[in-house]
């Protein structure tokens, strides 16, 4: 994640997250996946917006991936 980071990294992460949720969480209807890298490339903020099949209100989940030195 933290070596050779570039614009392609964001696209790859977004698609891998999207594929995993679609494959392994059938109860969720995925609305959006956003990946933002920090300026120093040591952190990635991931925001996932989804709704559960029986609920209309979207859920937003944000997590931080951080390099541990």
User: Higher confidence at residue 16 or residue 8?
Assistant: 16
| Model confidence, pTM | 0.84
pLDDT at 3: 61
pLDDT at 16: 96
Mean of per-residue pLDDT scores for the chain:
89
Write the Ramachandran bin of 4: left for phi over 0, alpha for psi from -120 to 50, otherwise beta. left
Q: Token digits for 20?
A: 């995993």
Mean pLDDT in residue range 10-26: 95
Does residue 1 have a pLDDT over 60?
Answer: no
Does residue 19 have a pLDDT over 90?
Answer: yes
């Amino acid at each position: 994640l933290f070596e050779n980071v570039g614009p392609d990294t964001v696209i790859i992460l977004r698609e891998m997250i999207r594929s995993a949720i679609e494959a392994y969480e059938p109860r969720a209807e995925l609305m959006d996946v956003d990946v933002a890298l920090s300026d120093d490339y040591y952190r990635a903020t991931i925001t996932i917006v989804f709704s559960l099949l029986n609920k209309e209100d979207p859920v937003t989940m944000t997590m931080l991936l951080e390099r541990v030195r």
